[in-house]
Amino acid sequence: MTGVAEARALTALDVDGEQALARTWATPRGLWGFLTTVDAKEIGKRYVVTGLAFLALGGVLALVMRTQLARPESGLISPDRYNQIFSMHGTTMMFLFAVPIMEAMGLYLTPLMVGSRTMAFPRLNAFSYWIYLAGGVMLYVAYLLNIAPEAGWTAYVPLSGPEYSAGKRTDIWAQMVTFTEVAGLAAAVSMATTILKMRAPGMSLARLPLFMWSMLTTSFMVMLAMPAVMLATSFLISDRLIGTHFYNEAEGGSNLLYQHLFWFFGHPEVYIIFLPGLGMVSEITATFCRRSVFGYPVMVLSLLSTGFLAFGLWVHHMFATGLPHLGDSFYTAASMTIALPAGVQIFCWIATLWDGKPRFATPLLFVVGFVITFVAGGLSGVMLASVPLDLQVHDTYFVVAHFHYVLIGGAVFPLLGGIYYWFPKVTGRMPDEVAGKWSFWLIFLGFHLTFFPMHILGLRGMPRRVYTYGADMGWADLNLLSTLGAYLLASGLLVYLLNLVVAARRGWPAGPNPWNAGGLEWATSSPPPPHNFGATPVVEGREPLWLPGEFPVMHGLDVEHREVLLTTIADGKPDIREGSPGPSIWPLLSALAVSLLFIGSIFDEWFLVWAAIPVMLCLIGWFWPKSSHSKLVKAPDDKIPGALA
């Protein structure tokens, strides 16, 4: 970084204090430590790696589908297998990759970005990971046993109901949803609490990093949206297993009820996936343009209003079901309104690029790719919001193209940029820039080659979810092009992942702040110590590391016990010192007990009753009162040296 003013850094505690803190917050060694850790960084890393593994699995499934569709009347895979594969692909990408990996990034980064020692509910985070892993493993074991879901990731009734989806396939799907939603809710509660109550002193809401704003919004959306889908799938599974009639038209139930419940979750779900991506884009843009993001207040308002509006437009997935026209028009208007906050944010990022001094490292390339792709996806979304036009393109490849533009462009590109950007912080090593740029160009070009032709296929009448098509339909060339693009995209992802794997072992040492960024997470060493920060940083601006002068810190938290500082919600004033739990096996045992209940209930409803006993025992163990330090200490501001008055 020759010739550029270095960002300031946090001064360390004295050696004794640092060592004591590291001992206090350390994860035990070995397998026991692996199973009992409550360190948000450990859990976050695990979550991200598992999420990437599911991305790879879902990606392989996508390649199989693309290979089948490369030519007309291909007999490579049977319709039954194909239907399982596309259902698995969607389910994997939505429930096991996209949402969890975004929450995982939040789990790892939240304490570092708000300047806290750990997350609010460390054991709940561990539980969240184990439950998520159990759900994912169950789905793939079912796939190997040929009982994987077959009714699409949306599993509409009555196709997924007891009459038309015999066997256990849909039950597996429904319970897998429950697993991942429990995991998601646990992580969301923990994240929102951490962001609202555990920020470093001085970090008022007006100084909250934009990525934290996006995670906060996302967390609340998770809490409001996910219960709807759990309700939908629980009704479904009880219709299938114990003969209720929630969705049985003949008995006064309703097919459309399922769709309403599902999309009341399903639409916000899309924003749950890409809002964290938008936050990452803001962080990356600011760092590589060496300029704070233009229009911070409107950025925050845009995030919040997107989260708010997200709950008012689910019906645009149901325009073809014959709902009343006037009602449909309301959802057209509401859906199009989303373009406003999205357009404002796009403007602000480009304005930041325009006014700053951008350096085109790999993360910023992903941001540029994001803008080009996401805006195209957003505009095709505006088209889909129109009732008449939607009646033509709904359920065609146009929609497939649209949501891949939005989800890959809006969430995966920022995620890949974000993982690359924070990789030095997590591992202490730098990825290779040449490989990074290669991976970007392969992914970017491969993506557009794969998905742009799908728009045209949809307009030319190709419905989605078909395992083959006739040679006389004229769809063969574009499908072949799309398949070639998919291979290119996959090769780019392979280069990207290999780069990270190699860099994790052999990359150049990164130092605390390799990008000269301004966020608090760069104030500590790379990788961060178990306790994150020696002394608690005191925050004086939105980019605390870019401010001149000494970095102010605050002392006074116990070094011999796990203790965290709680601050006030709006102003971030020091409020309370509170204990934080240490390593525990109970989250894992509880997750196992809950898994027994969930999986057992697929095969016998009485598991709901007697598997509740181990769950109860585990929770008793979990909440058994600890004698040591988990007590509240009301600390008057003036007793904490360095604290803001």
Partner 1 sequence: MTRLPARLALAAAPGLVLCSCRGVQTMLDPAGDQARDIDVVWRAMLIVCGGMYLLVLGFLAWALWRARRPAPVGAPAIGHTPAERTLERSLSAWVALIVAGLVTLVTISFLVDRSLAEVGPQPLRVKVTAHQWWWQVDYDGSPQSQIVSTANELHLPLNRPAVVELQAHDVIHSFWAPNLAGKVDLIPGRTNYVAITPRRLGGFRGQCAEFCGLEHAKMAFDVTVESPEAFEAWRRSQLAEAQVPTNAQQVHGQQLFQTKACVMCHRIQGAEAGGSTGPDLTHLMSRRHIAAGALRNSRGDLAAWIADPQGVKPGTTMPRVPLTSDELNDVVAYLEMLK
Residue 1 Cβ vs partner 1, minimum distance, rounded to whole Å:
11
Would you say 101 or 293 has its CB closer to partner 1? 293
Shortest distance, CB of residue 274 to partner 1, whole angstroms? Answer: 17
CB of 355 to partner 1, least distance (A): 5
Instruction: Please identify, using beta-carbon distances, which residue of 422 and 467 lies nearer to partner 1.
Output: 467
Could you tell me the smallest distance in angstroms from the CB atom of residue 641 to partner 1?
Answer: 27
Contact call for residues 288 and 362 (beta carbons, < 8 A): no
CB of 465 or CB of 573, closer to partner 1:
465
Report the nearest approach of partner 1 to the CB of residue 452 (Å).
8
Distance (Å) of CA 282 to CA 69, 288, 291: 38, 10, 11
Indicate the residue among 19 and 78 with the shorter CB distance to partner 1.
78
Cβ–Cβ < 8 Å for 155, 149:
yes
What are the tokens at 618? 């585990």
Of 224 and 336, CB closest to partner 1: 336
360's CB contacts (< 8 A; 6+ apart) are 288, 368
Least Cβ distance, residue 54 to partner 1 (angstroms): 23
Residue (118 or 386) nearer to partner 1, CB: 386
Phi and psi torsions of 554, nearest 5°: -125, 135
Query: Which CB sits closer to partner 1, 452 or 607?
Result: 452
Shortest Å, Cβ 143 to partner 1: 18
CB 586 within 8 A of CB 44: no
The minimum distance between CB 194 and partner 1, in angstroms, equals: 25
Q: How far apart are CA 207 and CA 314, in angstroms?
A: 33
The answer to whether residues 512 and 424 touch, using CB atoms and an 8 Å cutoff, is no
CB of 483 to partner 1, least distance (A): 17
Q: Report the alpha-carbon distance of residue 114 to residue 208 in Å, rounded.
A: 8
Pairing of strands 429-430, 553-554: unpaired
Of the pair 335, 601, the CB lying nearest partner 1 is at 335
What would the DSSP string read from start to end of 375-395? HHHHHHHHHHHSHHHHHHHTT
**Minimum CB distance to partner 1 smaller for 360 or for 606:** 360
For every residue of 166-178, DSSP letters joined together read -SSHHHHHHHHHH
Burial of 434 (0-12, 13-18, 19+ CB in 10 A): exposed
- In the complex, the smallest distance separating the C-beta of residue 341 from partner 1, rounded to whole angstroms, is 10
Closer Cβ to partner 1, 334 or 500, answer by number: 334
* CB closer to partner 1, 401 vs 591: 401
Q: In this structure, which amino acid lies at residue 331?
A: Y
Closest to partner 1 by CB, 317 vs 562, is 317
**What distance in Å separates the CA atoms of residue 395 and residue 102, rounded to the nearest whole number?**
27
- In angstroms, what is the minimal distance from the CB of 285 to partner 1? 11
- Alpha-carbon span 418 to 473, nearest angstrom: 42
Amino acid at the residue 410:
G
Q: How many whole angstroms separate alpha carbon 174 and alpha carbon 236?
A: 7
Closest CA to 287 of 515, 52, 596, 521: 515
Listed residue (632, 637, 630, 533) closest to 575, CA to CA: 637
Minimum distance of partner 1 from residue 544's CB (angstroms)? 10
Given the DSSP bridges, would you call strands 429-430 and 508-509 parallel, antiparallel or unpaired? Answer: antiparallel
Shortest gap between Cβ of 164 and partner 1 (angstroms)? 5
Distance CA 178, CA 185 (A): 10
Rg of the chain over all Cα atoms, to the nearest angstrom:
25
**How long is the chain?**
645
CA distance 202 to 539: 5
Task: Give the residues across from 563 on adjacent strands.
Answer: 579
Cα torsion 236, 53, 288, 106 to 10°: value is 50
User: 304 or 339, CB closer to partner 1?
Assistant: 339
Measure the CA–CA gap between 382 and 581, rounded to whole angstroms.
48
- Scanning the structure block, which residue is given the tokens 């533009």? 405
CA distance 217 to 208: 12
By beta-carbon proximity to partner 1, the closer residue of 12 and 256 is 256
Nearer to partner 1, 160 or 584 (CB): 160
Q: In the complex with partner 1, which residue's Cβ is closer, 384 or 407?
A: 384
Smallest separation, CB 397 to partner 1 (Å): 11
What values do phi and psi take at 566, rounded to 5? Answer: -100, 140
Residue 459 structure tokens = 């307009």
CA–CA–CA angle 175, 181, 186 (5° rounding): 135
Shortest spacing between CB 630 and partner 1, in angstroms: 39
CA distance 104 to 419: 11
DSSP tag of 541: S
Q: How far is the CB of 244 from partner 1 (least distance, A)?
A: 17
Residue whose pair of structure tokens reads 């994860």 in the numeric block: 27
